[in-house]
């Protein structure tokens, strides 16, 4: 009886017009599901080739520690070690600086994008959504967000960290007026935040590598979105003129070559003990902001890049960044 029902349901599905079936596949969009459906029948195979929206989850950056000497085998979409080595250098230079603060050894990087071979078959894809797996070593009580500005001539990463985020109350306001503004961050507080900031820089280099690969290999794309599984990175959206501009103007070799001349002076660090957020009614405490650039920039360029990095963000983090730039610019200093 059940087999008869299944056959009847299957026959009803096969009676659907092609455009309707393609629309269903568009809604599914997940690369693994599409791959399975592709194998069901010749009709499905031909219709899936017409899909224009695809989503890929589980994009990873596998790291192998220089101490262990062991690594996980991965698919290298860049074809060869030369380009991969360049991406490693993009983050290794700042990591070497971080070593002076006695933090962890630099990783070597390998990209793994599931379903990449199948994606190559889908010639009509116009919109691609990528979700990158992220895993940050951070206190569960802290809040942080990072964003990257990849469309500028010199990419930058901005990292915003707060020890706590809570609703503003009368008690908190009175406490803030009790001298909290004179508080200074200690080295013990700064070091783990710097470590986390560089984890985010590593994540940004991963996004940059994926972005550069995808826009080069899939020129038919009109919209590209990259996000992370923990929602710690500001979602990157490139579409229309912005994607065309990136594809035509971005020079990866030039960006990577900047790592050879990188110095700590290209990094800005700021600290705000208490940061009220009047629009949302929240308050952040013990706030640290890092801005990492691959080259020198004056203050106005750095501030503009910070805002661009958080352009797609909504809510408290964008408000916090705006409040810092409007009322606490003096706290943001170049790292020496």
* Six token digits for residue 226: 């990259």
What's this model's pTM, rounded to 2 decimal places?
0.78
Q: How far apart are CA 71 and CA 108, in angstroms?
A: 9
Write out the chain's pLDDT in tens, 336 residues: 455 554 554 566 677 888 999 999 999 899 999 999 999 889 999 999 999 999 998 877 554 433 333 333 333 333 444 444 555 555 555 555 544 543 444 444 455 666 777 888 888 999 999 998 887 776 666 899 999 988 656 788 999 999 999 998 766 565 555 555 667 777 778 888 888 888 888 888 888 878 887 888 888 899 999 999 888 999 999 998 888 888 887 777 777 676 676 777 788 899 999 999 999 999 999 999 999 887 777 888 889 989 999 989 988 999 999 999 999 988 888 765
| Alpha-carbon separation of residue 29 from 3, 200, 253 (angstroms) | 28, 28, 33
pLDDT of 335: 66
Q: 84-90: long-range contacts at Cβ-Cβ below 8 A with a sequence spacing of 24 or more? A: 84/109, 84/110, 84/111, 86/252, 86/253, 86/256, 87/205, 87/208, 87/209, 87/256, 89/256, 89/259, 89/260, 90/205, 90/208, 90/255, 90/256, 90/259, 90/294
117: CB partners within 8 A, 6+ apart:
none
pLDDT of residue 65: 37
Predicted pLDDT at 91: 57
Nearest to 308 by CA among 217, 205, 253, 238: 238
pLDDT score for 74? 39
Q: What are the residue boundaries of the structural domains of the chain, listed by start?
A: 78-105+138-334
Write the CB contacts of 146 (distance below 8 Å, at least 6 apart in sequence). 157, 158, 159, 160, 197, 200, 203, 204, 232, 233, 234, 309
Q: Count of residues for the chain?
A: 336
Q: Which of 64, 53, 49 is nearest to 112 (CA)?
A: 64
Q: What is the pLDDT of residue 92?
A: 58
Counting Cβ atoms within 10 Å, is residue 305 exposed (0-12), middle (13-18) or buried (19+)? Answer: buried
> What is the pLDDT, as a whole number, of residue 145?
95
- Give the C-alpha separation, 25 to 52, whole Å: 9
């Amino acid at each position: 009886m059940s087999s008869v029902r299944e056959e009847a349901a299957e026959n009803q599905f096969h009676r659907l017009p092609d455009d309707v079936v393609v629309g269903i596949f568009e809604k599914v969009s997940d690369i693994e599901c599409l791959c399975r459906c592709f194998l069901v029948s010749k009709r499905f195979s031909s219709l899936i080739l017409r899909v224009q929206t695809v989503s890929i989850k589980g994009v990873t950056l596998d790291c192998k520690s220089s101490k262990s000497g062991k690594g996980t085998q991965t698919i290298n979409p860049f074809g060869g070690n030369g380009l991969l080595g360049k991406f490693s250098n993009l983050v290794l230079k700042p990591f070497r600086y971080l070593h002076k603060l006695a933090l962890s050894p630099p990783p070597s990087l390998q990209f793994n994008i599931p379903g990449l071979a199948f994606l190559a078959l889908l010639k009509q894809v116009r919109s691609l959504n990528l979700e990158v797996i992220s895993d940050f070593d951070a206190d569960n009580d802290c809040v942080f967000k990072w964003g990257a500005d990849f469309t500028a001539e010199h990419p930058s990463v901005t990292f915003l960290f707060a020890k706590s985020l809570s609703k503003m109350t009368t008690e908190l306001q009175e406490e803030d007026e009790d001298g909290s503004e004179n508080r200074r961050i200690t080295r013990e507080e700064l070091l783990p935040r710097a470590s986390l900031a560089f984890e985010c820089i590593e994540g940004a280099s991963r996004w940059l590598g994926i972005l550069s690969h995808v826009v080069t290999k899939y020129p038919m794309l009109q919209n590209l979105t990259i996000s992370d599984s923990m929602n710690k990175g500001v979602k990157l959206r490139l579409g229309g003129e912005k994607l065309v501009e990136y594809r035509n103007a971005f020079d990866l070799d030039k960006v990577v070559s900047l790592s050879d001349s990188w110095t700590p002076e290209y990094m800005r660090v700021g600290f705000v003990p208490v940061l009220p957020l009047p629009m949302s009614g929240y308050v952040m405490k013990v706030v640290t902001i890092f801005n990492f650039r691959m080259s020198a920039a004056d203050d106005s360029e750095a501030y503009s890049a910070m805002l661009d990095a958080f352009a797609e963000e909504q809510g408290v983090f964008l408000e916090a960044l705006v409040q810092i730039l409007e009322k606490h610019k003096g706290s943001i200093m170049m790292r020496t």
